[in-house]
Amino acid sequence: MESPVTLTPAERPGWSVEAEREQLLSAIRASGVEDPRVLEAVAKVPRHELVPPELRHLAYEDHPLPIGGGQTISQPSLVALMTELAKIEHGDRVLEVGTGSGYQAAILAELTDEVYTIEIVEALAARARRDLERLGYGDRIQFRIGDGYAGWVEAAPFDAIIVTAAPPKVPEPLKAQLKVGGRLVIPVGSGRSQALRVIERTPSGFVEHASLPVTFVPMTGRAQER
């Protein structure tokens, strides 16, 4: 018996990036994301170029996909929500912890030209960098392989920090690297007991603005030390 053939998006009859992307945008709007700049960024980023070839036919469906190394590319509506919650303006300096496929970094690079991204899995970091540079984002993104728990001290402070894996508790180094007025968007918890938290640094300390249930892969490295 012959194995089934998985077609790439371009090989599927009637497939078009524009139609699939518009369907995705409709789903993201329906999820409650309203920021026009975020929606425009989603419309520009070719998600099918940032997932494994065998899964490209699923690239514009609103759910996570495996990318290897036990990691996933987050569902687009959640990426859009986290980006909206970070309130990124053009010219902001933004840190992403967990490069993964590079999709969130690409969205950020559509909003500002100073993005820093860290990935602990070397193979994922190398692939994401190749893909993002191939897609023209290399001049807006700085890459690092390492443990994102410690942040990126030399580039701090940041206007926004987005974390794409869940530590059991909020890493203090990341809070310390926020500017006053900066926002940290981060899933916190373990297993299915996670919540997405938005923490703002104010002149008098830190204020938490929002929390909703989510499920992310766990942050590895120092975050798991007891």
Q: What is the pLDDT of residues 154-185, one digit of tens each?
A: 999 999 999 999 999 999 999 999 999 999 99
Question: 115 is in which domain, residue-wise?
Answer: 13-224
Q: Model confidence over 36-45: pLDDT tens digits?
A: 999 999 999 9
Residue 70 CB burial class (10 angstroms; 0-12, 13-18, ≥19): exposed
Cβ distance 188 to 168 under 8 Å? yes
Q: What is the CATH number of the domain that holds 88?
A: 3.40.50.150
**Does 129 map to a domain?**
yes
Residue 180 CB burial class (10 angstroms; 0-12, 13-18, ≥19): exposed
Q: How far is 124 from 127, CA to CA, in rounded Å?
A: 5
pLDDT on residue 70: 83
pLDDT on residue 127: 96
pLDDT on residue 4: 46
Q: What is the pTM of this model?
A: 0.91
**Angle at CA 72, nearest 5°, toward 67 and 75?**
120
Annotated catalytic residue, options 3, 26, 74, 190: 74
- Starting at the edge strand that comes first in sequence, how are the strands of the sheet with 93-97 ordered? 141-145, 114-119, 93-97, 158-163, 178-190, 193-202, 205-214
**Does 207 map to a domain?**
yes
**Does 2 map to a domain?**
no
pLDDT on residue 11: 54
**Does 1 map to a domain?**
no
> What total of structural domains would you count in the chain?
1
pLDDT on residue 28: 96
204 carries an active-site annotation: no
Which residues in the chain belong to E strands, given as ranges?
Answer: 65-68, 71-73, 93-97, 114-119, 141-145, 158-163, 178-190, 193-202, 205-214
Q: How far is 189 from 168, CA to CA, in rounded Å?
A: 4
Helix (H, G, I), strand (E, B) or coil at 18: helix
Amino acid 161 reads: I
**Does 3 map to a domain?**
no
The answer for residues whose C-beta is within 8 angstroms of residue 136's C-beta and 6 or more apart is none
**Does 6 map to a domain?**
no
Among 199, 220, 196, 218, which Cα is nearest to 79's? 196
Q: Which residues of the chain have pLDDT under 70?
A: 1-15, 226
**Does 133 map to a domain?**
yes
Among 37, 90, 76, which Cα is nearest to 164's? 76
**Does 7 map to a domain?**
no
